Structure 1
C-alpha cells in the first residue's frame, strides 16, 4: 500500500512534462497537476478523517484504495476527450483516495508499537513508499515519455491536421499505464480487506464520550509547528521533483532529453528510499529531532549549490537532496502526534491537510520559473528547508503544559 501511493504520487513528475508538451503549457499551468493533486489533501483531509473514524483503520484503507482506483480509471476518458481539465479532475479523485490512505495508514503504523520507536517504524514503512517513487520515473519514462519522438520545434512545422493527430496520440499514451494502475489498486483493496490487521479502534475517535475539536489539537505547539513543517517539507520535495526534468534538460546543467532526465528523477527518489531504510535503523540510536535538523541543514547547502553552480556540481547537488529528504516526512509526522492519545486522529487529519504544500509551493515555484528562470526558482525550496531546521531544533518540542495535558 505504501509502495503504491508513492508510485502514483511520483508519476506526476513524469506526467507534468508530458502534459506540458501535449497542451503547450507554461510552467505555472503545468504545475496545476501538483496543485490539483495536493490540493485534494487540503480539501479532503477532514472528510477523510471522519470517514476513517467511522470505518476504522482497515476499512478506511480499503476505501482509499478503491477511490484511488476510480481516479486512475478516469485517465481513459480524459485522454479520449483531450482536455487538460479532465486530466486534472481524474487526478483529484485519485488524490482523494490517497488522502484517505494517508489519514488511515500513517497513524496506524505509528501506533503499532512503542511510542519511542514510532519515528523509526514509520520511516521504515515510508521507505517502501520511496521504493514506489524510485520506480515510477523509470516506468513513466519508458511508458509515457518514451512515446515522445518529436520535439516542439518538429511538431510546429507539421500541418495543422498532423499536429492535432500527433497530440491526440501523445495524450492517449497515459491510458494504458493508468488503467493498469487502477486494476492493481482494486486488487490491493481486495487483498487488504481479506487481511487480518490488529484493531486499534480506540484511537480513531470512536471510543469514549468526549468529542475533541481541531482547536483542542492546535493548542499543542508541536502540532501547530508540525503542520507548517509538513507544509514546507512536502512543498519543497514535490517542487524539486516536479522541476527536475526541466532543470536537467537545461544546456548549462545536463542538456538531457526528457527521457534521459527521468532517470535522474528516479535517482532522486531512490536516494530517499536508501536514506529511509538507513534512517529507520539510525533513529533507534540517535535523537530524531537532531537528525531532522542536521538533514535540513545539508539540504539548504545542497540547494545553494543548485542555485549558484552549473554542470555536474548542480546536477549532483539537486539529486542528492533526495537522500536527505529521506527521514523528514515520517519524523515530522511522528513528532507531531507525540503524546496526543485520543487526539491522534484529529492531528493526523491536520497533518495530512498540510500536504497541500505540495500544491502551493510547486505552483509558486512555477511562477518564479516563468519570471526569473528555472534555476533561480530553487530559492523557494531552500527557504522551506530553513524552516525544517527550526522545527527540528525547537518547534517539535511540546510545551510543558500541553505535554502534561496530552499525556
Structure 2
C-alpha cells in the first residue's frame, strides 16, 4: 500500500523581497479557521459519546465505536486523499474536504430520524473522511507558506487554534445536547431519543459549506499538485526514528482520544465528582483549554530546550497524572486527569517534527505514514472501552498511561535520527 503513495511534496514558494513570508499572512489566517473547525468537530465526539450511550443504552465498548469509525477514516482515507491532493492541489483539496465533511454532518439528520446507531457511525465516517482530506491538504500547505526554518513554528501556532476549537466545543455540545433537559442523566437522555443531535450538526454543516464557498473564491497560491512519484518511499522507512515516530503518533493520538472520550463518564462517577453529563461536558473544557495554553507555552520553551527533552518531560508528567487519577478519588482524581491536557499540548506536533527530522526528499512519504498512524484514535479507545466494561472505568486508564511510557522513551532515545 505504501509503495503507491503519491509524492505531494512541494518546493517552498518564493518569499517576498524582504526575505520573510508576510505576503502569506492572509492565507495562513484563512487556514487557521480550518484547524479550529476540525478541532471543534473532533472534540464534539467527546460529548456525543455519552449522549449516544444513553440514547441507545450502549456498553462502553459499543460507545467507543464512535471513535473507531471517526479515526478509522484516517487509516482508510489518508492514502486516497494523498492521491487526490496531488492531482488537484491544496486549495481544491481543502474545498473537497469541507464539502464531504458537510455531507457527513447532514447525515446526522436521517440517522436521528430513524434512530439507528449504525447510521450515526456511517455519518461519522463520512465526516471524518472530509476532515482527513483537510488534514492532508492543510498541514503541508501551512509548512510551504513561508521559510522552511519556521515551518514547525507555523504548524504549532495553527495547532493552537485547533486546541481553541476543542476548548469551545464542550460548551456548544453541552448546551445543545444536554441543555434541553433539566435532568440530563442517562435515563432522561434515552427518553429524549437521538433527535437532539440534529440541530448541532445542521449548524456545523452550514458552517462547513460556508467555509468551502469562501475558500473556493479566495485567491490563494496554487500549490501541491505533483505527479505520482514513489522513488523515495522505501527509503523513508529505513529511518528508525521515523518508524518509532509512527508508533509514537499511533499511541499518542490513541491515548489522547481515549482520555477525552471517557472524561465525561469519569467525572460523572459518584466517587470522582458526581457531575451530571451537562456539568461534566463543560468541565472538560479545562482539559482542552490546557492543551491550547500548553501549545503557546511549549512553542516558547522549545526555542531554548531540545524538543525531545520537552517531550519526555511532558510524557513523564502525564504518566504521574493518569496514575493519580487511577489511585485517588474525588477532586484530586478529577483535576489530575483534567491536567493531562496541559502536558499533552506539544506532543503531536513535536513527535511529528522529530520523526521527519533529516528525511530530505523522503519527507512527503514519511508524512503519509504518520497520517496513517492517526488510526490509533480508533483502536486505543476501543481497547480501553473493553477494559472499562470488564475491570471498571477508573482502572481502565492504565491503557493510555502505558502509551505514554513509549512516548517518554521516544523523546529521550527513539527520536535520535538513525538510518538502517
**Runs of 4+ residues over 6 Å off in structure 1:** none
Q: Does the 8 Å contact 1:124/1:277 carry over to 2?
A: yes
Q: 2:344 aligns with which of 325, 340, 343?
A: 325
Deviations 1:231-253 (A, max 9, x none): 00000000000000110111111
How many Å apart are 1:16 and its aligned residue?
0.3
Please, which runs of 5 or more residues in structure 1 have no aligned partner?
A: 156-165, 403-407
Give a deviation string over 1:46-100, Cα, whole Å, max 9, x none.
1111111111222111111111111111101111110000000000000001111
Deviations 1:254-273 (A, max 9, x none): 01111111122111001101
1:322-347 deviations in Å (ceiling 9; x for gaps):
00010111111122223334433322
Aligned to 1:364: 383
| Shift in Å, 1:179 | 0.8
Equivalent residue number for residue 94 of structure 2: 61
Cα pair 1:35 1:358 within 8 Å, conserved: yes
In structure 1, distance between residues paired with 2:353 and 2:53 = 36
| Conservation of the 8 A alpha-carbon contact between 1:119 and 1:335 | no
User: Residue by residue, what CA displacement relative to the aligned partner does 1:79-128 show, whole Å, maximum 9, x if unpaired?
Assistant: 11100000000000000011111112222223434444433221111000
Q: CA deviation at 1:31?
A: 0.4
1:345 lines up with 2:364 in the alignment: yes
Q: Please tell me whether residue 206 in structure 1 is matched to residue 227 in structure 2.
A: yes
* Structure 2 match to 1:160: none
Contact 1:121–1:280, Cα closer than 8 Å, also in 2: no
Q: Give the deviation of 1:321 after TM superposition.
A: 0.1
Preserved contact between residue 119 and residue 288 of structure 1 (Cα < 8 Å): no
Q: Give the distance between the partners of 1:64 and 1:296, measured in 2 at CA.
A: 33
User: TM-score with structure 2 length normalisation?
Assistant: 0.88
Report what 1:382 is aligned to: 401
Match of 1:288 in 2: 307
- For the pair 1:10 / 2:30, whether they are aligned, the reply is no
C-alpha distance after superposition, 1:147-166 (max 9, x if no partner): 344566866xxxxxxxxxx8
Q: Which residue of 2 aligns with 1:101?
A: 134
Return the match for 1:80 from 113, 130, 138: 113
Contact 1:233–1:329 (CA<8 Å) still a contact in 2?
yes
Distance in 2 (alpha carbons) for counterparts of 1:152 and 1:276? 34
Could you say what secondary structure the match of 1:147 adopts?
coil
CA–CA distance in structure 2, aligned partners of residues 151 and 175 of structure 1: 17
From 160, 164, 169, the equivalent of 1:127 is: 160
Is 1:42 aligned to residue 75 of structure 2? yes
Aligned pairs, how many?
Answer: 387
Relative to structure 1, the CA distance from residue 124 to residue 341 in structure 2 (aligned partners, 3 Å threshold; closer, same or farther) is same
Counterpart in the other structure of 1:192: 215
Residue 170 (structure 1) shift? 3.0
Task: Write the distance in 2 (CA, Å) between the matches of 1:374 and 1:337.
Answer: 36
